[in-house]
Amino acid sequence: MRTYATHLTTLTDVNPTNFAKKKLMLLVLLSLGALLLCSQLYAAEQNLYAKNYQAQNTSQLKSLSAQPDTKMYLSNHKGEDNISMLEDGYDMMGSTGFSGTFASVDGALQFGKTIKADKVLVYRKYGSAKTGSAKFEVIKQAAKTGGEIDEKDLVEDPTEYNYYASYWAKLPMPLLGVHVIKLVKAASDDGEVSVEVRGLKIIAVIKDSPAAKANIVKGDTLLKIGDVSLVKADDLFAAVKRYAGQIVPIKLQHDGAEVNVNLALNSRS
């Protein structure tokens, strides 16, 4: 009897009704999961900041923090902001640019969080729209010539804006602390060919870096580090790596004059 009762209980646990309920519940959960995934994909597709994103390079730069507290700022001074961000020790991960009638800046913040940016800078600039005065000119011209007016010319056009966002990640303290470009002297009208300008032009100096402490400033031109002449950016990277953690002589051009300074480079961690 005991064996039979135990066997009967086991048979009851797997009866068709319970199995059907469990199967239905599983199907519901799978459907909800698929719906959630589709919603997320649709939201990402509709986010123009994500859709139009272009990475600055292939280095996959992102925040040093695993879960950064991404901050967003609205501004109208892109050029000045870029230099300020470089000086504050950030580097650009990438940017977004597009035109449209309306795009919530929240899309930029959400995408910034997705790619683990520390800061997002957003810009919105007026694009174009057919104004009331422009429509009036169409009517006035038609009245003068006796011509017809296309009803499309009288439809109110939505205002278009140009949107731009840049995404930034904080860098670890650099070995030297400068951002440089290679200048090239443009060709002249009299047929003179373009030539490379000597050295590397500094466009930004990171605050509290070895370069800043040595009073190297934006606009200076780096000519030599140790015994490495600086012709291209790769020369700078190689020299800084070679002399990391050492006091090294640096030759630069400041206000048109060559200057020599001794500078203590940071060590690699």
Q: What pTM did the predictor assign?
A: 0.71
- Lookup: tokens for 240: 């800084």
What is the rounded distance in angstroms from the CA atom of residue 161 to the CA atom of residue 108? Answer: 15
3-state SS assignment for residue 53: strand
Residue pair 169/163 in contact by the 8 Å Cβ criterion: no
Contacts of 108 (CB under 8 A, 6+ apart): 49, 72, 96, 120, 122, 165
pLDDT at 140 (0 to 100)? 56
Residue pair 216/178 in contact by the 8 Å Cβ criterion: yes
Residue pair 134/169 in contact by the 8 Å Cβ criterion: no
> Mean pLDDT, 10 residues at a time, over the chain (269 residues)?
40 53 60 46 71 92 97 95 98 96 93 98 81 54 58 62 97 97 74 77 98 98 97 96 98 96 93
Contacts of 253 (CB under 8 A, 6+ apart): 198, 199, 220, 221, 223, 259
Residue pair 204/178 in contact by the 8 Å Cβ criterion: yes
The residue extents of the domains of the chain are 2-46, 53-170, 178-264
178-264 CATH fold: Pdz3 Domain (2.30.42)
